[in-house]
Amino acid sequence: MGKFIKSKFQGICAETSKTIKKGDPIYFDGKAYSEASKVYKENKEAAETLAHILANENAYFDNFCLRNNI
């Protein structure tokens, strides 16, 4: 599983071959992917969807606890 980080040095995107400048946001899983790449966009969407699902589950659990005096 990769991580979203900021580039610490200049490089090249593994998918699009575009230049990645120092400080640009990238997805890194052994290879660096720029914001324009399909891999970056798919993983960003997956991370946002997971965050949304977790927020809904936490809200449901909090409401359940309040209703049942837990």
Number of domains within the chain: 1
Distance of CA 35 to the CA centre of its chain: 11
- 66/49 Cα distance (integer angstroms): 26
Per-residue pLDDT of the chain (70 residues; tens, 9 = 90+): 899 999 999 999 999 999 999 999 999 999 999 999 999 999 999 999 999 999 999 999 999 999 998 8
Q: Which domain holds residue 48?
A: 3-67
pTM for the structure as a whole: 0.79
